[in-house]
Amino acid sequence: MTITPDNPKLQYTGRIDFDSEGATLCWPGAQIRLRFRGTSVAIRGRNINFGWPTYIGAVIDGEEKCYKIGGSCELDLVLADNLPYGDHEAVIYKRMEGHYLTVREIIVGGTDILELPPKPRKRIEVYGDSVSAGSVVDAQEYVGRSDPEGSVGQWDNSWHAYPQLVARMLPAEVCDTSQGGIAIFDRTGWFEMPNTRGMESCYDKLRYSIYQPLKDWDFSFVPHVVIMAIGQNDANPDPDVLRNSEGYERWVGKYIEIINSIRSHAPKSTVVLALTILGHDRIWDDALEDIKNRLGGKDGRAYHFVYSRCGRATPGHPRYVEQLEMAQEMTAFLRTLPESTWED
């Protein structure tokens, strides 16, 4: 049985481009979910690679799977076969950054695609960097240590990053708009070196990499909560940018401008500002506190959430157990928000 991307029984989450080619998963964590009756599931499509070798993720009946694809190529990929005949659930997801994944067809060894339960009613969008995207999260032997040498995406896994963990705990639908190395401004941070681009040029994009034509996002996903987790990479190239008043006001002003632009599409949204447990100078947390106050604090539906080990836990990207720690703390905080937060 061949299923095309326009099948109404498929569920999509994240920023996904639906065009004549199929369904293209653009940002980390973007996913396709289906339930079927049969014995196997595969996908046909195309991988468009921008950097490291590509790894694609899937979860079949709760079992996590990883497939190394390599570079740009046409795809005819079996995700699972020889399953016992019966009802199965599959999630196909964008495991890492640095590529776009186009799905043209899903091929099921069976005769039925089944209805899925409704999505969670709560909706969250995360604007973040490599931690929010799940970079190096699966390098389990390096908990609390610097990243291992030879990291080329094999340990990246958005499924184990705190946005997806929070989504499963709360539960909520999450749109993860995160990219490793990204800062607020162009020409800062590490994304797309040497001519780096910041969130100011990417937050409103569906296709956001300069290696393909850019495409605007329509903001069709309307979150109840927006988590802003930018600031980890903004010290490059000037680590003292916030220590002079001009640089400070410029950075804070652009941060607020982006938030206000996002809120123009989601006017009822609550904003949560939060850096992560990855080591960083506290001056960035202080700036987020100032931004929260300028947005009106609680009365303006703006919060600054500080993890118990914020900026102090690890010199490398948080591994799964550390991401789980963040997810548990963030979930507990989100549960304290007024119930009206989650009303449309």
- Band of pLDDT at residue 232, cut at 50, 70 and 90: very high
Looking at the structure, do residues 255 and 305 belong to the same domain, yes or no? yes
pLDDT in tens, 176-185: 999 999 999 9
How far, in Å, CA of 344 to CA of 339, rounded?
11
Q: Are residues 243 and 284 in the same domain?
A: yes
273 pLDDT tier (thresholds 50, 70, 90): very high
Closest listed residue to residue 94, CA positions, set 139, 147, 156, 144: 156
CATH of the domain at 110: 2.60.120.260
Residue 66 shares a structural domain with residue 142: no
- The CB-based long-range contact list for 189-198 (8 Å cut-off, 24+ gap) reads 189/129, 189/233, 189/234, 189/236, 190/233, 190/236, 191/233
Domain boundary at 114, 137, 165, which?
A: 114
Where among 77, 97, 114 does a domain terminate?
A: 114
167 and 92 within one domain: no
Indicate the residue among 91, 114, 137 that finishes a domain: 114
pLDDT 10s digits, 74-133 = 999 999 999 999 999 999 999 999 999 999 999 999 989 999 999 999 999 999 999 999
For residues 317 and 158, give the distance between their C-alpha atoms in angstroms, rounded to a whole number: 13
Q: Which domain holds residue 311?
A: 123-342
Do residues 151 and 221 both lie within one domain? yes
Shared-domain flag, residues 91 and 161: no
- What is d(CA 311, CA 240) in angstroms, rounded to the nearest whole number? 17
Does residue 174 share a domain with residue 231? yes
pLDDT score for 144: 96
Closest among 147, 144, 142, 174 to 161, alpha carbons compared: 174
Does the pLDDT at position 161 exceed 90? Answer: yes
187 shares its domain with 208: yes
Q: Are residues 189 and 247 in the same domain?
A: yes
Is residue 255 located within the same domain as residue 197?
Answer: yes
The CA-CA-CA angle for residues 178, 323, 233, to 5°, reads 45
Q: Residue length, the chain? A: 344
Same domain, 6 and 150: no
Mean pLDDT of the chain: 97
Question: What per-residue confidence (pLDDT) applies to 39?
Answer: 97
Question: What is the number of domains present in the chain?
Answer: 2
pLDDT at 81: 96
In a shared domain, residues 127 and 85: no
Instruction: Tell me whether residue 274 is exposed, middle or buried, using C-beta atoms within 10 angstroms of its C-beta: 0 to 12, 13 to 18, 19 or more.
Output: buried
In this predicted model, what pLDDT tens digit does every residue of 9-47 receive, in sequence order? 999 999 999 998 999 999 999 999 999 999 999 999 999
What's residue 52's pLDDT?
87
pLDDT bin (cut points 50, 70, 90) of residue 192 is: very high
